[in-house]
Chains A and B, each alone.
Chain A
Amino acid sequence: MSNAALHQNGDVLAFSGDLVAKNVGGIWKSSIAAAKRAQAATLTIDISGCPVIDTAGATLLLTMERTHGGDMHLQGAETQGTALLAQLRKIIPPPLTRQEEQRAAREAAREARAPTALENLKIRIAFFGETIVALLALPAKLRYLRGSNFAHIADNAGLKALPLVVMLGFLIGMILAFQSAIPMQQFGADLYVADLVALSLFRELGPLLVSVILAGRTGSAFAAELGTMQVNEEIAALTTMGIDPETMLVLPRVAAAVLVMPALVVAMDVSGLIGMGVVLMVFGFPASAIIGQITFAAGPSDFLLGLFKAMVFAAAVAMIGCRSGLTAGNGPRAVGEAATSAVVGGIVATVLLDGLFAVLFYRLGL
């Protein structure tokens, strides 16, 4: 396939090569700019060197005409595309509305800041699961991600879950502290409640509870979303467009879930500790003693192990959710079933993985 190019011969703008969607991307902006610069009242464009012109090419010519403001004269217009051009000229949509312009500007800004390297870096730092990095590095597949709405998914999975996580964390911290403080008081060991709660939150309860919340909120949402797409033949439509649904739909969801997980776990841990602190302060311990006891009992390694586990849980929950959605049957009932199986599957996987980690960490002496 020949690449399209623009040459300026005096007042004449001459195109060469096929003016088709695959080719005009590289010359779009320069062509529009050239049309804007052109001084003559009539914009003369030579298309004799263009064997094929498709809608994209015709739209480019018409956009050039509009940008120039005057008439357009086409030289060498025996090509197939001129009939198309005439058709399109009749239906030319009005110039962009303000809203659309703002949107286009936003998109242009997003394109301008070279997203791939930056996003790759972010993902590398935040996530050490090798698979996703490897998948993202596959340049052939990377383009499928352009259609996905990563920020939106991450916002839904993360930020919107935060109030629930904080509330649950606080309550669980209080309940744990209260339940254990009473028997431990009998041995005069009630300050050790801080050890107990901090350790169990960091190593077990934090990751586990957040993962269950993720399965209930996000795993089911993924399943319902993709299940609906499956039922509406949207997945089939993507496939026939040549876009891999796994890459475009699953990868960003798994990555979003894994990325928001540490933040959610931190929120859960911190609010749990605060809940415990409140109870212990009611029991008469000063804040400094509680904090001292926590830092003495639980080290950064407990905390980090928890985070690591949580990210693995998140990947599993998200993948199970997406899989249930993509393999949904037909009809509206299938969506409900997919959501149910996503939640059940997510929770079961979380507990199984947790058991596996317990054995693994024990063996490794962690």
Chain B
Amino acid sequence: MACIIQVDDVAQQFGDRVIFKNVSFTVDEREIFVILGGSGCGKSTLLKQMIGLLPPKAGRISVCGHDVTTETEAVRRNIGVMFQSGALFGSMNLLDNVTLAMAVFTDLPAAARNEIARMKLAMVGLTDAALRLPAEISGGMAKRAAIARALALDPPVLFLDEPSAGLDPITSAGLDELILELRETLGATFVVVTHELQSILAISDRCVMLDREAQGMIAMGKPKDLQAHSDIQMVRAFFNRESV
């Protein structure tokens, strides 16, 4: 089943403050699509709209053919989400964080759930931390555990909000590899919010850049192309590390 994401002329405002408007793009199956932009430009907000947590003030979004506002349940069966804060369940150890969705949505026996969850934790390099509580692990570990949790049911679409922010370069590169591997092995589609130029160049097929001043998207395309040429100062600045 083709699972594409369509974002169609979406807008968001809080009170009178317009965060963005006229945002439109399509994410193809098996694509790794990056949303980038300065802090506070609305990346997380856009992501929340795409996963049905925040109804868009205008426009519509569909994931795998289901409208996120009207068919939220169907959308949620197809997605895994890693929140910017990690949002691990604080009262459960990492293993239980990962097994929860399996316990609720499958008839896997407990031993199987644990085995699979340990495999997911191994995928993000957390084999040894399975029995620790979220309060007992570092921020980077929490992000990786949150990815493992998002992978629990092998969803076809994954939304990751800044997976590599605050990680050391080696771990961050490892995460990029993981994302590429998952695309290969699971055939998953990714929507990733990230600031890391390295990571964008390494993983993303296409990206969209939001800007707070412009209240919307200022560029979209392959990162290599944007790096090579752009008419927009902000885009050039970001991709070539110039100062604005």
Report how far A155 CA is from B83 CA in the complex, Å.
Answer: 32
- Residue A25 contacts which of B51, B108, B181 (CB distance < 8 angstroms)? B108
Q: List 6 A-B contacts (CB under 8 A).
A: A28-B109, A28-B112, A88-B123, A93-B122, A236-B53, A240-B76
Q: Which residues of A contact B88 (CB under 8 A)?
A: 234, 237
The proximity string for B residues 101-120 relative to A, scoring 1 for CB distances below 8 Å and 0 otherwise, is 11111111111101110111
A84 close to B186 (CB less than 8 A)? yes
Interface check B90, CB cutoff 8 A: yes
Interface residues of B in 172-230 (CB under 8 A from A): 181, 184-187
**Interface majority SS on A: helix, strand, loop or mixed?**
helix
Residues of chain A in range 92-119 having any CB-CB distance to chain B below 8 Å: 92-94, 96, 99-100, 103-104, 107-108, 110-111
Does chain A have a CB within 8 A of B240?
no
Q: A239–B53 Cα gap in the complex (Å)?
A: 8
Nearest CB in chain A: distance from B68 CB, A: 11
Whether B77 is near chain A, meaning CB under 8 Å from some CB there, is: yes
* A91 nearest CB neighbor, chain B only: B122
Determine if A83 is an interface residue (Cβ-Cβ < 8 Å): yes
Chain B, 148-185, CB within 8 A of any chain A CB: 149, 151-154, 181, 184-185
Q: Is B25 an interface residue (CB 8 A)?
A: no
Cross-interface CB contact of B184 among A60, A83, A91, cutoff 8 Å: A83
Residue of B83, B101, B108, B149 ringed by the most chain A CB atoms within 10 A: B108
A56 and B127 in contact, given A25-B107, A83-B185 (Cβ under 8 angstroms): no
- Known pairs A83-B184, A84-B185, A94-B127; A21 contacts B116 (CB<8 A): yes
User: Are the C-beta atoms of A60 and B112 separated by less than 8 Å?
Assistant: yes
Q: Does residue A143 face the partner (Cβ distance < 8 Å to B)? A: yes
- Give the docked Cα–Cα distance between A147 and B81 (Å): 18
Return A182 CB to nearest CB of chain B, in Å. Answer: 51
Residues of A with C-beta under 8 A to B110: 104, 107-108, 110-111
Question: Contact partner of B119 among A59, A111, A225, CB < 8 A?
Answer: A59
Q: How far is the CB of B130 from chain A (nearest CB, A)?
A: 7
Interface residue tally for chain B (C-beta within 8 Å): 53
Flag whether A123 is at the interface (Cβ < 8 A): no
Of the candidates A54, A56, A100, A233, which one forms a contact with B85 in the assembled complex, judged by CB atoms under 8 Å apart? A233
A295 to chain B, nearest CB (A): 45
Which residues on B sit within 8 Å (CB–CB) of A243?
A: 100-101, 104
CB-based contact B116/A147 at 8 Å: no
A25-B112 in contact given A55-B119, A88-B123 (Cβ < 8 Å): yes
User: In whole angstroms, how far apart are the Cα atoms of A243 and B101 in the complex?
Assistant: 8
Q: Is A63 an interface residue (CB 8 A)?
A: yes
Given A93-B122, A242-B105: A59 and B153 interface contact (C-beta under 8 Å): no
> What residues on A are CB-neighbors of B81 within 8 Å?
237, 240-241
CB-based nearest A residue for B127 = A93
Which residues A16-64 have CB closer than 8 A to chain B? 20-22, 24-26, 28-29, 54-56, 58-60, 62-63
Q: Which residues of A contact B87 (CB under 8 A)?
A: 232-234, 236-237
Contact indicator B116/A20 (Cβ below 8 Å)? no
Known A54-B154, A93-B121, A108-B110; contact A149-B53, beta-carbon cutoff 8 A: no
Residue of A nearest to B125 (CB): A91
Chain B residues near A54: list those with CB within 8 A: 154, 186
Q: In this assembly, does B138 line the interface, its C-beta being within 8 Å of a C-beta of chain A?
A: no
Q: Which residues of A contact B154 (CB under 8 A)?
A: 20-21, 54-56
